[in-house]
Structure 1
Amino acid sequence: MSTNSQDQEIDLGQVFSKIGGFFTKLIERFFDFIFFLKKKILVIIVLFITGVVLAFLIDFKVYKHEVSVIPNFGSNEYLYKKIEQINAKLKENDSLFFKQLGIKRYDKIKEIEIDAYPAIYSFVNNKDQENNFDFIKLMAEDGNIEKIMKDEITSKNYYHHKIAIQTNGVFNKEEFITPILNYLNSNPFFETQKQVYQKNLKEKISLNDSLINQIDNLILLLSTNSSPGSISISEKNSIPELIEKKDKLIIEKQKLLNYEIINNQIIKEESSILNIREYKPLLLNNKVLFPLILILIYLLSYFLLATYKKQSERIKK
Structure 2
Amino acid sequence: MSTNSQDQEIDLGQIGKGIKNFFNGIVNSIFDFIFFVKKKIVIIGGLFVIGVLAAFLLDPKVYNHEISVIPNFGSNEYLYKKIEQIDTKLREEDETFFKELGIKKYEDVVGIEIEAYPAIYNFVNNKEQANNFELIKLMAEDGNIDKIMKDEITSKNYYHHKISIKTKGMLKKEEFITPVLNYLNTNPYFEIQQKVYQKNLADKIVLNDSLIKQIDNLIVILSSNNASGTISISEKNSIPELVEKKDRLVSEKQYLLTNENIFDKIIKEESSIINIRDFKPLFLNNKIIFPLVLILLYLLSYFLFSTYKKQSARINS
Q: Give the TM-score normalised by structure 2.
A: 0.91
Deviations 1:148-173 (A, max 9, x none): 43433333222222211111122233
Q: Which residue number in structure 1 is paired with residue 196 of structure 2? A: 196
Give 3-state SS (helix, strand or coil) of 2:264's partner: coil
1:198 and 1:114 map into 2 onto residues whose CA distance is: 27
**Equivalent runs, 1:86-125 vs 2, <5 Å:** 86-125=86-125
Q: Which residue number in structure 1 is paired with residue 272 of structure 2? A: 272
Give 3-state SS (helix, strand or coil) of 2:229's partner: helix
| Equivalent residues, number | 317
AA aligned opposite 1:48:
F
**Equivalent runs, 1:20-35 vs 2, <5 Å:** 20-35=20-35
- Is this contact kept in 1: 2:52–2:290, CA < 8 A? yes
AA aligned opposite 1:189:
Y
AA aligned opposite 1:217:
N
Deviations 1:24-77 (A, max 9, x none): 222222222122112211211221111111101111121222212111111112
Q: Structure 1: 5+ residue runs without aligned partners?
A: none
AA aligned opposite 1:240:
P
1:227 and 1:279 map into 2 onto residues whose CA distance is: 73
Give 3-state SS (helix, strand or coil) of 1:23's partner: helix
Q: Structure 2: 5+ residue runs without aligned partners?
A: none
2:55 and 2:298 map into 1 onto residues whose CA distance is: 18
**2:236 corresponds to 1:236:** yes
1:124 and 1:226 map into 2 onto residues whose CA distance is: 44
Alpha-carbon RMSD across the aligned residues, in angstroms, is 2.3
Q: Which residue number in structure 2 is paired with residue 175 of structure 1? A: 175
Question: Greater CA deviation, 72-81 or 123-132?
Answer: 123-132
After superposition, the Cα gap between the structure-2 partners of 1:12 and 1:227, relative to the gap in structure 1 and judged at 3 Å, is closer
After superposition, the Cα gap between the structure-2 partners of 1:19 and 1:66, relative to the gap in structure 1 and judged at 3 Å, is same
CA offset at residue 110 of structure 1? 0.4
2:106 and 2:115 map into 1 onto residues whose CA distance is: 21
CA offset at residue 102 of structure 1? 3.1
Q: Which residue number in structure 2 is paired with residue 291 of structure 1? A: 291
- Is this contact kept in 1: 2:112–2:165, CA < 8 A? yes
**Equivalent runs, 1:54-203 vs 2, <5 Å:** 54-133=54-133, 135-136=135-136, 139=139, 142-203=142-203
Q: Which residue number in structure 2 is paired with residue 255 of structure 1? A: 255
- Is this contact kept in 1: 2:111–2:165, CA < 8 A? yes
1:250 and 1:126 map into 2 onto residues whose CA distance is: 19
Question: Greater CA deviation, 202-211 or 157-166?
Answer: 157-166
CA offset at residue 285 of structure 1? 0.5
Q: Spell out structure 1 runs of 4+ moving beyond 6 A.
A: none
